[in-house]
Structure 1
Amino acid sequence: MLTSILIPIVNTVRYSFLDLDFISKGAGNFSGFRNYGKALSDPVLWKSLFITIRWTVYSIVFQFGLGFALALLLKSKQVLINKTVLRSLFLVPWMLPGALAAIMWKWLYHGSVGLINQMLLRMHIISAPIPWLASTQFVLISVVLVNVWRGAPFFMVMLFGGLQTIPNELYEAAMIDGAGSFTSFRKITVPLLKPLILTLSLYGFIGAFNFIDIILVLTKGGPAHHTLTLPLYVWQLAFVDMKISYATAVCVLMCLFLVVLLGIMMVFLKKRGEDDE
């Protein structure tokens, strides 16, 4: 097990110090830190990093928010629909493969025959079709919405399970004391779910940061690199441009970026937890 993890890591780091390039027939000679120097001065890499951070933050915030709202809805006694059926329907997007979900949404986003534009036109919200995946103004939020639609059910399932562990007696006691729904949510639900919330936040951050399927199918990083995240940039360098050593150098830097961002996030979440206490 340990070997299967260490060997790819060691090889990735080793390749980053070579000049393997299948386009220019690079022989794999030692090149030192040249690939890293090139990467750090690469404007596309820095743009990709900024886009990756935006993609990750938007995805996590909306996935978590929507998932929490759906979990609370399923927990509510006011829901008259069969909750098992409702929960199954909510889980459908999560069960779809990322590539399949992206293909479906690509048709929905289509400029001329897409259902979204047709509905907006019929409702007179827009006067002309919007090129959702070809416009630099709308493309990032468009792909984020697809990721939110697909990923929110996971947070719903986890948070719904957490809500089930909170005794109803706590809410009943709070109600007797005159606490409203929001106060009970803030004073009971959130504190008791804090470990789960922190775990889901870290897990979701790592998953969104490294996610590639939806963006690859929908936009391939375009238009004008406006959806080119770091994992997708590494994929393009390695499997399209065949610049293996440069791709691995960018990959190593991406891992370092992720470790730093996770460290900052963990310190922030820990500080917030201490302040709440």
Structure 2
Amino acid sequence: MLVVLCLLFYPLCSTVLYSFTNKTLIKQSWSFRGFDNYIKVLADPAFGRAFLTTLLWTFFSLFAQILVGFSAALALKRVGNPVMRPIYRICMIIPWAFPSIAIALVWKWMLNGIQGYIPTLLMKLGLSKGMLQFLSDPGLVLPTLVFINIWFGAPMIMVNVYAALQTVPQDQYEAACIDGASSWQSFLHITVPHIKVVVGLLLVLRTIWVFNNFDIIYMTTAGGPAGMTTTMPLYIYDLGWTNKLVGRASAASIILLLFLIALCLIYFTLITYWEKEDQG
């Protein structure tokens, strides 16, 4: 109870309280302003851009992470060599084992538009006319960050889906094979029903984590160029710490929290429906 009170209840209550005040980091005194912060945040064009960027960042990251992680888990399950299977598994989980700061700095070094390894290689191979500016070109920067996030997050999906695949009864595959079912039919009618709840829960967790992701973007582009990669966490950080507007940053945080709660309710409704469908 003490842990819950200190780490969850107090911060949440204080954020809700400050969202209705004009509290700043410059002066100690503050007063209630009602919904003034919420109105100002929702009317801010930077909020709309940050929210749209966050939606794009989350959707494409999640879609590709699920696709790559799911495919990797299915491929790993088909490896029959007992010696190579754990080696493949370790190699595929390496990106997830690295700390975020190491990932951001290494990718920033490799994608550097002046002497980065990847732009230099692409230019020498004749695939680009000059040094590509992956982290400063408005048309490349967000897809580049999404790619880095996919590389980082797909192993986590792979490990969990691979673990779920171990719970699928093998006799059902054998029965389907005897009945003449194709590999696609076995996957669709045996594999998917057994692991869809696990994938649904992974989708919930990854949606929250990716939506709130701060470190990789901040350490790679810091929201640039010209705010092209400013997501909601960076927008809230700029309001609270750069501009010292704690009240307005708290209001933006509560708006983000409400959106994620609504999204999670939709996810959990779907997962509950799947569970009832399996029981029925």
If the TM-score is normalised by the length of the shorter chain, which range does it land in? over 0.9
Tell me if the contact between 1:98 and 1:214 (Cα under 8 Å) persists in the aligned partners.
yes
1:64 aligns with 2:66: yes
Secondary structure class of the residue paired with 1:221: coil
Change in 2 beyond 3 A, CA 1:165/1:186 = same
Tell me if the contact between 1:68 and 1:155 (Cα under 8 Å) persists in the aligned partners.
yes
Residue 229 of structure 2 corresponds to 227
Residue 20 of structure 1 corresponds to 23
Structure 1 range deviating more: 166-175 or 259-268: 259-268
User: Post-superposition shift, 1:275?
Assistant: 9.2
Q: Which of 200, 207, 210 is the aligned partner of 1:208?
A: 210
In structure 1, how many angstroms separate the alpha carbons of the residues matched to 2:229 and 2:275? 33
Residue 12 of structure 2 corresponds to 9
User: Structure 1 vs Structure 2: percent identity of aligned residues?
Assistant: 36
Tell me if the contact between 1:237 and 1:244 (Cα under 8 Å) persists in the aligned partners.
yes
Q: Which structure 2 residues correspond to residues 189-268 of structure 1 after superposition, within 5 A?
A: 189-267=191-269
1:153 aligns with 2:145: no
User: Post-superposition shift, 1:84?
Assistant: 0.8
In structure 2, how many angstroms separate the alpha carbons of the residues matched to 1:169 and 1:134? 54
Tell me if the contact between 1:73 and 1:79 (Cα under 8 Å) persists in the aligned partners.
no
User: Post-superposition shift, 1:71?
Assistant: 0.8
Tell me if the contact between 1:13 and 1:249 (Cα under 8 Å) persists in the aligned partners.
yes
Deviations along 1:163-218, whole A, 9 cap, x unmatched?
11112222222222222222211111111111111111111111111111100011
Secondary structure class of the residue paired with 1:193: helix
In structure 1, how many angstroms separate the alpha carbons of the residues matched to 2:269 and 2:197? 14
In structure 2, how many angstroms separate the alpha carbons of the residues matched to 1:269 and 1:134? 40
Query: Aligned pairs, how many?
Result: 276
In structure 1, how many angstroms separate the alpha carbons of the residues matched to 2:50 and 2:273? 29
Deviations along 1:78-123, whole A, 9 cap, x unmatched?
6697111111111111011112101110011111221211222232
Q: Which of 166, 173, 176 is the aligned partner of 2:175?
A: 173
Change in 2 beyond 3 A, CA 1:26/1:246 = farther
User: Post-superposition shift, 1:263?
Assistant: 3.1
Q: Which structure 2 residues correspond to residues 123-162 of structure 1 after superposition, within 5 A?
A: 123-162=125-164
In structure 2, how many angstroms separate the alpha carbons of the residues matched to 1:22 and 1:194? 46
Tell me if the contact between 1:94 and 1:153 (Cα under 8 Å) persists in the aligned partners.
yes
Change in 2 beyond 3 A, CA 1:151/1:263 = same
Q: Which structure 2 residues correspond to residues 50-61 of structure 1 after superposition, within 5 A?
A: 50-61=52-63
Secondary structure class of the residue paired with 2:253: helix
In structure 1, how many angstroms separate the alpha carbons of the residues matched to 2:221 and 2:168? 43
Structure 2 unaligned residues grouped into runs of 5+: none
User: Post-superposition shift, 1:37?
Assistant: 1.1
User: Post-superposition shift, 1:266?
Assistant: 4.3
Change in 2 beyond 3 A, CA 1:53/1:267 = farther
In structure 1, how many angstroms separate the alpha carbons of the residues matched to 2:61 and 2:158? 14
In structure 2, how many angstroms separate the alpha carbons of the residues matched to 1:207 and 1:155? 13
In structure 1, how many angstroms separate the alpha carbons of the residues matched to 2:277 and 2:52? 29
In structure 2, how many angstroms separate the alpha carbons of the residues matched to 1:227 and 1:59? 14
Q: Which structure 2 residues correspond to residues 61-100 of structure 1 after superposition, within 5 A?
A: 61-77=63-79, 82-100=84-102
TM-score, normalised by the number of residues in structure 1: 0.92
1:37 aligns with 2:39: yes
Deviations along 1:204-234, whole A, 9 cap, x unmatched?
1111111111000111111121111111111
Secondary structure class of the residue paired with 1:118: helix
Secondary structure class of the residue paired with 1:207: helix
